[in-house]
Structure 1
Amino acid sequence: MNSIFDADPEAARAARAKVLTIASRDGTRLFGAHVSGSSVLRIRRRDDGYSWQEG
């Protein structure tokens, strides 16, 4: 995912939703920027959206 998608709000939402869905489903580790602690993240699906934990 690249910040270029921020120029198109609909494309940005779609790209983020796709990444979050895939990562929460198969346990993919993501490397986040601008987070405190470890930049290695695991995404979890919740009833009200998503959460992340260091992993």
Structure 2
Amino acid sequence: MVIQTFTVEAQVLTSDERDAVWPLIVVEAPDFGAYQNRTERVIPVVRLRRVA
């Protein structure tokens, strides 16, 4: 395993962006889908972009 450290910019996805990627996230991490089904709040998704 290679560990890298770098600076990122974080941005919470809009509801439309989140809706588009949520199914892909749940495929990779089904527990997130199960948790979303048990709560009334919307679990935010954060995009990390590497900055120079």
**TM-score range relative to shorter protein:** under 0.3
Larger Rg: 2
Q: Which has the higher strand share?
A: 1
Q: Which has the higher contact order (CA 8 A, sep 6+)?
A: 2
TM-score of the superposed pair, with normalisation by structure 2: 0.25
What TM-score results when the alignment is normalised by the length of structure 1? 0.25
